[in-house]
Amino acid sequence: MIQLLNWFRRRALERGLNRELQYHFDRRVADLTAAGIPEPEARRRVAAELRLPRVREEVRDVWLTRWFRDFLYDLRFSARSFLRSPGFTAATLLSLALGIGATTAIYSLVDQVILHALPVREPGRLVLVDWNGDDLITYATGSSNLMPYSICRDLQQQTRFLDGVLCRAEIQVNLTAGGDPRPVAAEIVSGSYFSVLGVGPTLGRVIEPEDDAAPGAGPVVVLSYDFWQAQLGGAADIVGRKVLIGNHPMTVVGVAAAGFRGVDVGAVPAFWMPTSMSADANLDEDDLLHSPVRWLQILARLRPDVTLAQAQTGLQPWFKAWLEESTRSPVFPRISADHRREYLATTLELASAPQGHSPLRRSLSQPLWLLFAATGVLLGLACLNVAGLFLARGSARGREIGTRLALGASRGRIGRQLLADSLLLAVAGGVLGAAVAPLAIRGLIAFLPHDLAANALRDTLSFRLLTFAFLASIAAGLLSGLAPAFHAGGDSLVNSLRERGGTGFGGVRLRKMIVTLQVAFSLILLVGAALFLRTLTGLLAKGPGFDTSSLLSFAIAPLQNGYSGADASRLIRRLDEQVRALPVARSSAAARIAFLNGWAWSNYVTIQTDRRIVSNRTVYFNAVSPGYFATLGVRLLAGRDFDRSDVRPVGEIGPRCAIVNEAFVKRYLAGRDPLGVLIARGGSSDVKPDSRIVGVVADISYRGVRDDSEQVFFPLFEHDDTGATFYIKVRGAPEQAIPSIRRLVREDDPRLPILWFRTLDDQVNRSLNTERMLAALSVSFGGLALLLSLVGLYGVMSFVVTRRTREIGIRLALGATGGSAIRLVLRDAVFMIAVGMAIALPCVAALGKLVQSQLFGVTATDPATIAAAALVLGAGALVAAFIPAWRASNVTPTDALRLE
Amino acid sequence: MPSPRFPIPQGTLDMLILQILSLEPAHGYGIAQRLEQISRSVVQVNQGSLYPALHRLQQRGWLRAEWKQSETGREAKFYSLTPAGRRQLAVEKDSWARLSGAVNLIFEEGSR
């Protein structure tokens, strides 16, 4: 560090040293002349004694180690020569900044979503506990890694393997903390949560085991630091304040440590509350603490002396006993003996979870890795481009280098100079790239599918990110500098001096190899771009199965505001009728599950025809009010829609009915009349098929545009309803209907928040966010790659033409036509393009398997797509090569020969 | 004709400089003269090699330097010991004593 400082004050240091040595010199001379030696003789003797040049050099070595000093001189020399050729510098800087900026931005998301360990104590010892249990019995709700509360409670006794067990569930509640109630995301957690994670409070205390000791024991919440800062202004007197969760009063007992955002990177909780208060969180069930419903995730901390495999094996005997015990529970369903055996054979599964648990990670990790790989290729391309430019510049500098070699510079020394060139450029490019990266990250986050993700992901540059950008720059510098450096080291001195000015041998073969590789890389990226573009256009063309224009949706969750199921049902029914009566509404309907949202209500279905069958995969359900299909414009293929008479008041028994979609009929009722067939939700043997199919509708999307699932619709208001999404076909612009709807809901219950207003166009767009991100980014990467390789090709071809000007001129003088000159040059280019493509195609085939799952309506090795990409690349490349070729054909023999 | 003075052993120059400066601050020429005097012209120090050593010691924080008027009235760069330098001198003296003691012991062993 001091040494680096010395570099910047080397002038002052030199001055001081000179004065110091001069003083010594003069004193010594004075002493010698005083002793009677004549002055000239004294001066000569002192000079020999002191050997000043050597002393100076040795002192300079003390200031700054030799190689470091030389390297800094190299860098200074590089910087000066770059400033002298601004065009070259701008081109290389831009290539590198683009490559590094893009890679850094994508890496930021990879790091945040996939790699980043939770900011807790020893995250490496955290494991996710999962049960590969039987869906039929364990009431899996289609979401991930869910477990019943009782396993979490009992697992805490297994201290031989585990150093603590926590469970948590993500919940949506209405929070009133001064002002209007607002819907927020929160985590409901076991009392062990904070102590197992090792997270403390910023203020007050965190949730403790006592809060969770018995149902209703701890009416307390702990706020997240971010929520406290952003929504409550970081009020210092927050501890002890009362808030309402729904309409249950709770006390704020603390604020969690800053930087801790729960265990799910995609869902940032506003606060945490203990599981003992699950009844107050208004989840659908009354007694979640004792029921077998799987509703939370379990994370555990391994004991330091236990491995994952040991714990997994060691816990099985206990789990076996737990399974046996659970079958004796009064709520355990009656099942067949086979089924029971299957159930008892299920096991507990442990997986390392240093990053916590996150559905967002699962859905995004593949697209993100893909994009990361793409940016890696792009960065490689940028490096190749810079290497090509360096080679070109190196050939222009051939004489300079030759002269330096002739004067005695070692080849290593010259090579180091060239390496300094490229490192300086790469680091400068990296700084530029890091400067634009936050913008790029912000853009990327806007693409992401979840609203929550936008809150959870940061666009700031962390230390890790800067380290990454720095390492990427150094790697880029080394990569792009190595080829020219070796080249300079290997060229023959005599050759380079013999060359005439400006036309030195420029490593043409090396440059051609570089361009060939560039062609290969860009074809890979172009094929990717074409595939993702076709996927997006395919999905947009498919749509959700109906016309989304003029459709508006809004949602409410009355249970979160303390409504009972029956009251909620009545409210939804009331609102449904009132919305329908609004003048702006052409028609309207309500549904329990909002589609295209990733949510699902699913189970197996038992179908009773002449025999009883159970669906062989889960079927998606929805409950809808009459007029739902007409509002959306979904075609009714057979039978009828629900009507008023199908809608049963709460609790009333009577004939039930259902509507199924085309896919359901195709899969399970092919070749028979579906109308009148009895079905029921659930697949176990005690299920009674009691709902009569009264209609068949065309297929529409459920969770996302991609899926073509089997669906069954039931009438809304049949029993307790948790919430509803209303769909309104409006007259005019959908936005204009919003105020009147808002007024209507407020008149009914001023405390009930509307969760969202969304047009269906917007909803479809949102559900395609990941696809759009992949398409937009891969197209821009492909475009950049194309540009980079075309520039590279143009550069090398121009160079070849310049070098062969004389030869071409002579050929033309001897009677060759311009056309043959063009052919001569183009033959070279075509060869490079062809070899590049030949390298790329097997890579495309190999990479295809990785991207297949992200595609829709096109296979990864689709010949038409690949051909189109190759055509675009080939056409562009030929144009880039044709310009220099055309110039070659216009060479006049006299000019060419005058170059002599 | 072999020189009656032998060159200074590797690594001892630093110690000698520290020792000289522990008595009083001095400039480079002064240190050179004192070296000559103290070593009674037995040890030969190249006058030039003093300066890299001085700068090295200063960079390590064992010496501090300031420009002051010298005895001739001209400005000269005076070096003096820092507390860290003083500690370093003690360490080097100690290890030197142990080394020479050990060497002596070996010689006596051999002559017995």
Nearest neighbour of A59 by CB, restricted to B32, B52, B75: B52
Nearest neighbour of A51 by CB, restricted to B48, B72, B77: B48
Cα separation of A556 and A753, whole Å?
A: 7
CA A617 to centroid of chain Cα atoms: 30
How far CA A354 is from CA of A122, A162, A708, in Å, comes to: 8, 15, 35
The letter for the amino acid at A239 is V
- Decide: A749 and A571 in contact? Cβ < 8 Å: yes
What pLDDT is attached to residue A287?
65
- Decide: A104 and A471 in contact? Cβ < 8 Å: no
Coil, strand or helix: which one is A753? coil
Nearest neighbour of A59 by CB, restricted to B55, B70, B77: B55
What pLDDT, in 10s, does the model give residues A175-199? Answer: 888 777 788 888 999 999 999 999 9
Cα separation of A342 and A869, whole Å?
A: 51
How far CA B43 is from CA of A255, A853, B14, B47, B96, in Å, comes to: 73, 82, 14, 12, 17
Nearest neighbour of B51 by CB, restricted to A2, A26, A55: A55
Which chain B residues are within 8 Å of A26, Cβ to Cβ? 74
In 3-state terms chain B splits into helix, strand, coil percentages (rounded to 5) of 55, 20, 25
What pLDDT is attached to residue A190?
92
Residue of chain B whose alpha carbon sits nearest to that of A57: B52
| Structural domains of chain B sorted by starting position, each given as residue range(s) with its CATH number in brackets | 6-111 (1.10.10.10)
What pLDDT, in 10s, does the model give residues A759-810? Answer: 888 888 878 878 888 888 889 889 888 988 888 888 888 878 877 777 888 8
Cα separation of A889 and A239, whole Å?
A: 84
Tell me which range, A522-526, A735-739, A825-829, B46-50, is most confidently predicted by mean pLDDT: A522-526
**Average per-residue pLDDT for chain A:** 82
Assess whether pLDDT exceeds 80 at residue A708: no
Domain residues of chain A, as ranges? 2-64, 125-354, 362-541+769-898, 558-754
Contact B76 A20 (CB under 8 A): yes
Contact A24 B49 (CB under 8 A): no
Interchain CB contact of A19 with B (< 8 Å): yes
Would you say how long chain B is, in residues?
Answer: 112
Which chain A residues are within 8 Å of B72, Cβ to Cβ? 27
Interchain CB contact of A706 with B (< 8 Å): no
Which chain A residues are within 8 Å of B76, Cβ to Cβ? 20, 23
Phi, psi of A51 (to 5 degrees): 50, 60
- Half-sphere exposure (CA, 13 Å, Cβ side) for A796? 31
Interchain CB contact of A831 with B (< 8 Å): no
A–B interface: beta-carbon pairs under 8 A: 55
pTM score of the predicted model: 0.72
Could you identify the residue written with the tokens 């001066």?
A43
Interchain CB contact of A57 with B (< 8 Å): no
What pLDDT, in 10s, does the model give residues A463-482? Answer: 877 888 888 888 878 877 77
What are the counts of helices (DSSP H) followed by strands (DSSP E) for chain B? 4, 5
Quote the Cα angle for A549-A552-A556, to 5°.
Answer: 160
Contact A63 B51 (CB under 8 A): no
Give the confidence band of A520 by pLDDT, cuts at 50, 70, 90.
very high
Residue of chain A whose alpha carbon sits nearest to that of B33: A28
Interchain CB contact of A2 with B (< 8 Å): yes
What pLDDT, in 10s, does the model give residues A50-64? Answer: 888 888 888 888 888
In sequence order, which residues have a C-beta less than 8 Å from that of residue A492 and are 6 or more positions away? none
The more confident residue out of A424 and A360 is A424
Contact B29 A54 (CB under 8 A): no
pLDDT along chain B (112 residues), means of 10: 58 85 89 78 73 88 88 87 91 90 85 60
**Cβ-based burial of A220 (10 A; exposed 0-12, middle 13-18, buried ≥19):** buried
Contact B48 A52 (CB under 8 A): yes
Phi, psi of A501 (to 5 degrees): -50, 135
Nearest neighbour of A23 by CB, restricted to B49, B52, B76: B76
- Decide: A645 and A704 in contact? Cβ < 8 Å: no
Contact A23 B55 (CB under 8 A): no
Residue of chain B whose alpha carbon sits nearest to that of A62: B56
Contact A24 B74 (CB under 8 A): no
Neighbouring C-beta atoms of residue B65, cutoff 10 Å: 18
Residue of chain A whose alpha carbon sits nearest to that of B52: A59
